[in-house]
Structure 1
Amino acid sequence: MTTSTWGGRHVHDPTVVRDDDGTYWMFSTDARSDGPVRAGVQVRTSRDLVRWELHGWALDGVPGPAGDWSGAEGLWAPDVVRAGEAGSAEWRMYYSASTFGSRRSAIGLATAPHPSGPWTDRGTVVASDHVDGPAGLGHPNAIDANLVTERGGRQWLVYGSFFGGIYALPVDPATGFVVDAPEPGALRSAPGTLLARRPRLADGAVEGAFVLPRPDGGWALLVSYDSLAGTYHLRAAVGDDVTGPFRDRGGRAMTDGAAGTEGAVEREGAASGVDPWQVGVPVLASHRLAGGPGLLAPGHASVLTEPGRQLLVHHVRDADAPTEHRVQVRRLVWTHDGWPLVSPQPWAGPDRENDDTATWPVSPAVFGGTWEVLDVGAATAKVVDGRTGALDDVLDGALTGVGRARPLGEGRFTWEHPGGPPASAPRWTSVVFPGWDAVRDRATLCLTAADDAGRVVTGTRVDDQ
């Protein structure tokens, strides 16, 4: 099996950490689009988050306890964190073992002194089976782990996929295992606190959760919706606590329509008028920029936080060859009111990107010129092309009364939507920042904006500035 030319290809469900010498380490699912899977979690390295080299596999196959329970032939969706502060001698990897469409799954824990290994399996953290849980909701599928640490050191394991939804369990920071956990491989009597769930009429399609702190307090939840190789896309919500409740910009909870039994979920969703495809704010979806490749089903994202920047790490598929998947990295920015949004352009590397927010735009004049704009929410069902022109025209006259919004630094702007008072005309909040146009191979400006109803657009300035 030739792996020297893989680079960032065959990457699915990625997470990235940085070691003390500045090397980036990426861990991802045992997935390969053109042949058999080698089990054990793929590991890659990079110095710039653009060019990747396959380092090998973290583990020698599927560990016995997780494999015996799940029947898995490979490991999925690893989440790697450092135990304690910088300089700690232990790294922890939470991996998932399951088979497609099954709820008989397990999340295991492995540890190493360095991201390069050697990795040692420590056992199963939580497992699930084909059984109903509390209130008939079904036990959450024990995959897609995300370890979240609060400022005081308290930790949570956020996990789940389809079936029962997304949950959070308290974790003992000293051991890395769930607090009061039964013996490895045993089911817990309670799955934890429900964070997000979609009803059966939406196939329960929510997975790949990642929870991160908001700049001014509280938390943001990122999750992927819908079909893995088709309508897959990324949505966001915010809440005061790691355990939620998480709500979108329209005030809808990520658990809307998710109470009671399976039948009651569907009845409640229909009775309340909750559309399971409208809950959550879409921040990244399938698209094609003029002259560039069609990008299909981006999602299952993690966030790399470094001094001065945050980067969204996710997989994406080729629209013309949906089985082909690879990694992409994009800048994640925060609006003045604390909402995470994503760049329309992939990360081009530290030599081409500008992290100095003091130099980001301060004048509404930046909204002039010609822009290519993507309507992110419209792209959840298909690959959507950008619209090019004057920004006000592309946004259907939405650019009215632009003003600066500075609580989180430069580059933040707001404007009013025309057509009536604020109650009937949602206000927009946006971030404009330097970026790199991957199609034209040059520096440019990027923007991303959301209105109060949850519509999100992103843009790339394409004229000579």
Structure 2
Amino acid sequence: MLKKKSASFFTLKLVFVSLIVSALLFSSIASAAINQPPNYPMYDTANINNESAWNITNVHDPEIYKEGSTYYLFSTDYNVGGAATPGIQIRKSTDLINWTWVGYALNGVPTAAKNWTGGVNVIWAPEIVKLGSTYYLYYCVSAFGTRTSYIGVATSSSITGPWADQGEVFKTKEGDAYTANAIDPNVVIDSAGQPWMSYGSFFGGIFITKLNATTGKFAASGQGTLIAARSTSVDRAVEAPNIIYNASQNKYYLFVSYDSCCNTSNMTYNVRVGRSSSITGPYLDYNGNAMTNTSLSPQTEVGTKILSGYGFAGSDGWYGPGHNTILQDGSSWYMIHHARGEANKDWTYLHVRKMLWSADGWPLVSPERFTGEEQRTLSSNVVAGTWESIILDRSNNGKIGSSNVTLLASGKIGTESSSNYWTFTAPGTLKLYWYAPGQAPGDYWIDTVQMIEAWDWETSRPTYVYTGLNQSGTAIWGKKISAPILSGATYKLVNVASWKSLDVANGGTADGTNVQLWADNNLAPQMWKVTMNTDGTYKLVNPNSGKALDVAGGGTANGTNVQIWTDNGLSAQKWNISLQSNGTYKLINPASGKVLDVANGGTANGSNVQIWEQNSFDAQRWVLLPL
């Protein structure tokens, strides 16, 4: 069993009762696709005390649980503008993208916890789990920077409460018999159905102990088994354990956060992972180092780093990502964590990222936040272009910047004469070979990465990203920022104003069928094979019908309709594809000099597509995504 509740699988059987119904389905049934994310403002001082508008703001130490079709997020009491209201913040979502404020789980800090910690009035790092028919909400209260800490638990028959405090699970204080710190509880269900708690932070490290499935409390006295620690040379800085069991790998994975979560002058929080065949360890990183190894120098070599501060070009970066939780939702996996904006690191935000798995069973985190993407089969046409690359150097836990890498259609990297090259294997495995004779194993460093579609948060458009590891266990990220038009490749054309796709109405195949916008569904009526003509222009042929994108009647006036028509090689079916400075494209019909345009700047499904004289509006800008 997994700690988090998995989504149910449903099988949808569609019966096509008529040609009309079949055609309508082409435009109306959508698979999960990239969505334009909500425009939640950064550093929103206007709503600094308006909790209902916080959405993803003030999220720290998130914990998630899916109940039915709703995701509930519990997090630390935090308020960038002043004293936080004690009680555990709750938010909810139905898509992991749009979040709404719910309120507080508890009415203040429970009395026993407050008394033990000398009057601390804030609850940190909650955990939520269901054992049998009862929900257990774990909370911790700690005098910051000390071992004076208390883990308690409250129970309810409903995910939304009300919650009844059941008191102490474990508590610590200087001078007791323990080395552990009673903070950051995490519950995992092992492969036999037994619940365990991992917990701990600075001082003694991370421990794990068996729970009583009826009470939710420790099954035996003592602090449990040590599973992760760091040396005094790095201030013993490890915390926020999160353990999952991946049944397909038959292994347990321990995620921890290194360094300081909250020192805004030296923000180096980052996420590391090790794995084990046993829930009590030992947990080993990619290079076989035990997560309890405190003698290896430098200590940054212990733990496979998969997330840290970063910044892509053209926007502020993110600092201190960490205190993650992992959600398995059906066959999809997500990492949920907090991070701090570069412009003002006092502000914390919720991040949700798609998590993939390497062929040899290591978790990989997307370099961009989640907006609905799925891992699906791609083609080698996706690869060629310019990418921003980030190497998550284990020795650098600050913000890591990007550098550009050009992947040529020929399979070379950089230039045609280079010894560096790439290979691609469907559904999405890219290997980058970097020639380093005498230094790398077999003279090549090899970055093995997984590619997926994603939303480019820095430039506000869809793109492709990759994430993976090289032979040394160093995480590699990439984001595609531009690409040549490949003759013969198939593309989606996504309009910048609406982020909807160029679509053949009702999946039609007849001459004169109208072309429109429709929500991205990855079906054949939204696919266009782009082929260069001998004069340097392009024709766009819809593979569903074999017919070309055409200006009706060869018209040249503003508002002339765009349709599909049998390929005839005439100028009405020719398009110049012009790259714009922001990485988008305009499609210009050479017969009229006018561009592919969404009528009246429409953004709704079914908005008509026409030609119009060039202007600066997004209705004339398109992103070409190779398939």
TMscore range, shorter length? 0.7 to 0.9
Query: In 2 relative to 1, CA 415–139 (structure 1 residues): closer, same or farther, beyond 3 Å?
Result: same
Aligned equivalents of 2:444, 2:277: Cα separation in 1:
27
Query: In 2 relative to 1, CA 19–342 (structure 1 residues): closer, same or farther, beyond 3 Å?
Result: same
Aligned equivalents of 2:278, 2:430: Cα separation in 1:
27
Residue 373, structure 1, aligned to residue 389, structure 2: yes
Judge conservation of contact 1:378–1:384 (CA < 8 Å) in 2. no
Which of the numbers 444, 448, 452 marks the counterpart of 2:467? 448
Hey, what does 2:67 align to over in structure 1? 19
Judge conservation of contact 2:240–2:257 (CA < 8 Å) in 1. yes
Hey, what does 1:219 align to over in structure 2? 252
The residue type paired with residue 449 of structure 1 is G
Query: What is the CA distance between 1:12 and its match in structure 2?
Result: 0.3
Which of the numbers 174, 192, 198 marks the counterpart of 1:130? 174
Query: In 2 relative to 1, CA 65–423 (structure 1 residues): closer, same or farther, beyond 3 Å?
Result: farther
SS in 2 for 1:65: helix
The residue type paired with residue 327 of structure 2 is L
Q: Which deviations, in whole Å up to 9, do the C-alpha atoms of 1:315-370 show, x marking residues without a partner?
A: 0111121111111111111101010111010111x3xx2x2x4x33254x543211
Aligned equivalents of 2:284, 2:334: Cα separation in 1:
23
Range with bigger deviation, 421-430 or 22-31: 421-430
Equivalent residue runs for 1:81-120 within 5 Å: 81-84=129-132, 88=133, 90-120=134-164
Hey, what does 1:185 align to over in structure 2? none
Hey, what does 1:402 align to over in structure 2? 423
Which of the numbers 339, 343, 347 marks the counterpart of 2:366? 343
Aligned equivalents of 2:445, 2:254: Cα separation in 1:
23
SS in 2 for 1:370: strand
SS in 1 for 2:52: coil
SS in 2 for 1:333: strand
Hey, what does 1:205 align to over in structure 2? 237
Range with bigger deviation, 424-433 or 116-125: 424-433
Query: What is the CA distance between 1:155 and its match in structure 2?
Result: 1.5
The residue type paired with residue 40 of structure 1 is G
Aligned equivalents of 1:125, 1:204: Cα separation in 2:
24
- Length-normalised TM-score, structure 1: 0.85
Q: Which deviations, in whole Å up to 9, do the C-alpha atoms of 1:299-319 show, x marking residues without a partner?
A: 000011101311111001111
Judge conservation of contact 1:315–1:328 (CA < 8 Å) in 2. yes
The residue type paired with residue 24 of structure 1 is Y
Give the % identical residues. Answer: 33
Structure 2: unaligned runs, 5 residues or longer: 1-48, 408-412, 484-624
SS in 2 for 1:157: strand
Residue 382, structure 1, aligned to residue 405, structure 2: no
Query: In 2 relative to 1, CA 131–400 (structure 1 residues): closer, same or farther, beyond 3 Å?
Result: farther
Structure 1: unaligned runs, 5 residues or longer: 182-187, 258-268
- Length-normalised TM-score, structure 2: 0.64
Aligned equivalents of 1:104, 1:373: Cα separation in 2:
43
Judge conservation of contact 1:336–1:429 (CA < 8 Å) in 2. no
Which of the numbers 77, 92, 108 marks the counterpart of 1:61? 108
Equivalent residue runs for 1:122-271 within 5 Å: 122-131=166-175, 133=177, 139-181=179-221, 188=222, 191-214=223-246, 215-229=248-262, 230-257=267-294, 269=295
Equivalent residue runs for 1:322-337 within 5 Å: 322-337=345-360
SS in 1 for 2:301: coil
Aligned equivalents of 2:421, 2:314: Cα separation in 1:
30
The residue type paired with residue 139 of structure 1 is T
Query: What is the CA distance between 1:415 and its match in structure 2?
Result: 5.5
Judge conservation of contact 2:470–2:476 (CA < 8 Å) in 1. no
Hey, what does 2:302 align to over in structure 1? 279
Judge conservation of contact 1:304–1:310 (CA < 8 Å) in 2. yes
Hey, what does 1:7 align to over in structure 2? 55
Query: What is the CA distance between 1:173 and its match in structure 2?
Result: 1.6
Instruction: Indicate the structure (1 or 2) with the bigger Cα radius of gyration.
Output: 2
The residue type paired with residue 368 of structure 2 is Q
Aligned equivalents of 2:473, 2:442: Cα separation in 1:
14
Query: In 2 relative to 1, CA 424–245 (structure 1 residues): closer, same or farther, beyond 3 Å?
Result: farther
Judge conservation of contact 1:286–1:380 (CA < 8 Å) in 2. no
Residue 431, structure 1, aligned to residue 428, structure 2: no
Query: What is the CA distance between 1:424 and its match in structure 2?
Result: 7.0
Which of the numbers 318, 341, 344 marks the counterpart of 1:318? 341
The residue type paired with residue 202 of structure 2 is F
Judge conservation of contact 1:345–1:438 (CA < 8 Å) in 2. yes
Judge conservation of contact 1:28–1:77 (CA < 8 Å) in 2. yes
Hey, what does 1:79 align to over in structure 2? 127
